Amino acid sequence: MRILLIEDDTTLGAAVRDQIAAGGQSVDWVTRLDAAGDAKGATSYDLILLDLMLPDGRGITFLKGLRARGDVTPVIILTALDQISDRIEGLNAGADDYLVKPFDLAELSARIGSVTRRYSGNPNPIVTHGSLDIDLAARSIQRDGKPVQLTAREWALFEAFLARPGLLLSKPQLEEKLYAFDAEVESNTIEVHVSRLRKKLGAQVIVTERGMGYRLGKP
C-alpha cells in the first residue's frame, strides 16, 4: 500500500511516517498542499492522510478539489479541530474517516486498515484463500492451521494481491506499493519477495504472467 501523508507538524509527521513504514507500507510525506498536488499528480495512492490546517491553505479545499475531479482515493482527516461542525464539514466534503489529534498511532493503523478494506470490497478482516486463513486486521496468516510469519515487505506485497483478486499487477505497480519516492529499488526485489511468498504460502499462491506481471492464484 502506498500512502500520501499531508502534515506540517514535523514531530507528528515523523511519528506517523515511521508507524506506517513499520507496518510495511510506503509513505510519501509532504508538508504543503502544493507539494501534495504535485505528488498526487505523479503517482497513484491507495490512501491519503490529510491535515486540515496547512501553511498554504485548508485541507478541506484540497479534499473538495479531489472529489470534484472524480478522484475517489480514500481520505482520512487528521486534525486538531474537534468540533462536531468540523467533523460534519470534513465528512460532507468526502472524507472517509476523521481522527482528532492527539491520537494513538495504533488506532490510526486500525483506521487505515478499516478504510482500505472497505475500498477493496472486503470489509470483513477475515479472509480465506484456499488453505490460508488471513486476518487482515491482525496481519496474521495460518496455512493449514499453522501460523506463517511474513516480513513487513512480504505482507505488504501479499496484501496488494488480496486487495485486487484476479487482477494482473505489473512489476512497477508492485514496486510502488512497497517503496516511497526516495527509496532505491533493486531490479529483482519483486521476484525475490514473490519467491519467498510462494515458499511460505504455497507455490500457486501467486501466478506469473510472463513479461506482464503477477496475479493472485486461484484458491
Same domain as 188, residue 168: yes
Stated pTM of the model: 0.72
Residue 16: C-alpha distances to residues 23, 25, 103, 176, 184 (Å): 11, 12, 10, 19, 21
Same domain as 115, residue 210: no
Domain boundary among 119, 136, 164: 119
Q: Which residues contact 112 (CB under 8 A, 6 or more apart)?
A: 3, 20, 47, 49, 76
Torsion sign across C-alpha atoms 121, 139, 130, 128 = negative
Same domain as 103, residue 7: yes
End-to-end CA distance of the chain: 23
Domain boundary among 119, 148, 171: 119
Domain boundary among 119, 135, 164: 119
Same domain as 83, residue 40: yes
Cα 137 to Cα 11: distance, rounded to the nearest angstrom:
27
Closest to 75 (Cα-Cα) out of 9, 176, 3: 3
Same domain as 114, residue 13: yes
Local confidence pLDDT in tens for the 219 residues of the chain:
789 999 999 999 999 999 988 877 889 999 999 999 999 988 889 899 999 999 999 999 999 999 999 898 999 999 998 888 988 999 999 999 999 999 999 999 989 988 887 776 665 678 889 999 998 877 889 999 999 999 888 888 898 898 888 889 999 888 877 775 555 667 788 999 999 999 999 999 999 998 899 999 988
Domain range for 134 is: 126-216
CATH number of the domain bearing residue 89: 3.40.50.2300
Structural domain count, the chain: 2
